[in-house]
Amino acid sequence: MLALMDQSPTSQPAAVANQSQTQGAVTKTESSPAAPPKPPVWQTWKFWSAILLIVTIGALSYYYENVKDQFPWLVGLQLWTYGRMSHAQARASRPKWVVGVEVDNRSFFGTPMNRKGPEDITDRAFLARVIDTAVIALDINLVREETNAESTAADNDALWRAIQNASDHHVPVILTLAFDTKAMRPLNNIFGPDRMPICSDPVDLYAPRAGFDHGPEDKRKVPLVVDAASQDGNNQIACRSFALQVVDAYERLVGIRPTTVERLDRTIDERQFAYTMFMPQEKFGQPISAVDVYNGDAAALRRLDHRIVLVGGNRTTWPTDNPHPPIGDMLDYHRSPEGPMAGMYFHANYVEGLLDDRIQSTIPRRLAALIDMLLATAIILAINLLDGAIRVLTVVLLIVFPVIIAYTAMVTLGYCFDFVLPVILSFLHPALEKYIDLPEHLFRRHSHA
């Protein structure tokens, strides 16, 4: 009994202690369960959100040309970037073939035209006199439906005689034609189809010809050939652009081979645009006023020798004595890679680009999408896998890399590489990841409340 009594007090506390330890272990196990194993990366929302974003970037890159015209700010940003990059070339561009003759305020509002405002037309007798003194490409509206009420038959005949006289002296004259852009049908010119066939390339080397004046939204693009409906609507016809007609007439006249039409045959057959380098308007030198050519000014006429003479409007909407009027007062100004520019100097840039072989090839859409997706993948991986200064440096290099690609492709390889803007969406992934995790964070906070 004594032995049992002696053992009982001693053994009871030990059992109680063991039981307490066991209960403590159970309690500890119940309060902090073991963390479950992490699922494979490919089973996480983080992975699939990145994949979704990369595929979206690839799709935007592929359909970029179809989308960007809906966002003028995007085109403006592209034009600005393109202009800055073109200035970084080792070979500075300069005009070699084209000289501009401007129907400026002196010509339009002064003697002898004495026009009054934007609704008035350029006097046909005035143009006839200018054509008699120079080799001419006329960037002037000669649409019958818009101008026939203001131009007399006698003035139209005088202009046509001047054009024929130039042809007789082996000087082809190139005119513009306009489209009904909804129906893609050429509009009648003031001379009629018998004198000036629409969208029909002349067989005679010195015969006058016409090209459409229908510029693209992206002003770097050189319009070449478009398919249009005939005026009776029964046939489809191929119409060359005004710039391409000017270039083809000049190359055939001086015997340049291969011609631009031959060099760009694939681009023309596929009805694509070509991209060209741009020069600022002031690069074309001191403007020549059409009234000086009209009056036979010797200094002005000397500047026209052996050049393609482009006659076009560069004036204000209403008469003004301001020698440097605001851009908003100019009648025919548009955005260009080199800032606001008169329409006639777009044609001058197109002609110079084609003749000087400063044409940029476009990157195939599939290749563009692939490059953008690879860049996006690299940026997302850098953001998620790297830390600290290394991550910042890597991301900065990946941002600069597309700019280096675009510059090298344009200047060295002759490719227009401008589809990298969708890659910027790669930086949305961290925000997208937080958004995906937000419901889970809220649920956890609610469960602990």
More confident residue, 373 or 75: 373
Judged against a pLDDT cut of 80, whether residue 32 lies above it is answered with no
Residue 19's pLDDT band (cuts 50, 70, 90)? low
CA distance 110 to 319: 9
Residue 258: cis peptide before it, omega within 30 degrees of 0: yes
Contact 201, 240 (CB under 8 A): yes
Q: At what angle do helices 429-448 and 45-62 cross, to 10 degrees?
A: 150
CA distance 292 to 214: 29
- Highest mean pLDDT: which range of 179-193, 298-312, 363-377: 298-312
pLDDT at residue 62, as a whole number? 79
* Domain boundaries of the chain, sorted by first residue: 43-73+361-448, 94-357
pLDDT at residue 54, as a whole number? 81
* Residue keyed to tokens 């002064």: 110
Where are the strands (E) in 119-184, listed by range?
A: 136-139, 174-177, 179-180
Judged against a pLDDT cut of 90, whether residue 103 lies above it is answered with yes
Question: What is the pLDDT of the chain when averaged over all its residues?
Answer: 79
Residue 405's pLDDT band (cuts 50, 70, 90)? confident
CA distance 289 to 34: 88
**Ranges 23-27, 45-49, 94-98, 290-294: which has the least confidence:** 23-27
pLDDT at residue 107, as a whole number? 95
Residue 25's pLDDT band (cuts 50, 70, 90)? very low
Q: What is the pLDDT of residues 334-392, one digit of tens each?
A: 888 888 999 999 999 999 999 988 887 777 778 878 888 888 888 888 888 888 889 88
More confident residue, 29 or 301: 301
More confident residue, 39 or 212: 212
More confident residue, 88 or 137: 137
pLDDT at residue 4, as a whole number? 38
More confident residue, 346 or 133: 346
Residue 114's pLDDT band (cuts 50, 70, 90)? very high
CA distance 192 to 190: 6
More confident residue, 427 or 338: 338
Of the chain, the end-to-end C-alpha distance in Å amounts to 58
Judged against a pLDDT cut of 80, whether residue 415 lies above it is answered with no
Share of the chain above pLDDT 90, in %: 26
Residue 17's pLDDT band (cuts 50, 70, 90)? very low
Q: Which helix (H) or strand (E) holds 78?
A: helix 72-86
- Highest mean pLDDT: which range of 67-76, 358-367, 419-428: 358-367
Judged against a pLDDT cut of 60, whether residue 323 lies above it is answered with yes
CA distance 238 to 240: 7
Q: What is the pLDDT of residues 250-293, one digit of tens each?
A: 999 999 999 999 999 988 998 888 888 888 899 998 889 999 99
DSSP state of 38: P
Q: Which helix (H) or strand (E) holds 408?
A: helix 388-408
Share of the chain above pLDDT 70, in %: 79
Q: What is the pLDDT of residues 223-254, one digit of tens each?
A: 899 898 887 778 888 999 999 999 999 999 99
Could you give the count of Cα atoms lying within 13 Å of 145 in the half-sphere of its Cβ?
A: 7
* Residue keyed to tokens 């129906």: 183
**Nearest of 343, 311, 322, 318 to residue 103 by alpha carbon:** 311
3-state secondary structure of 158: helix
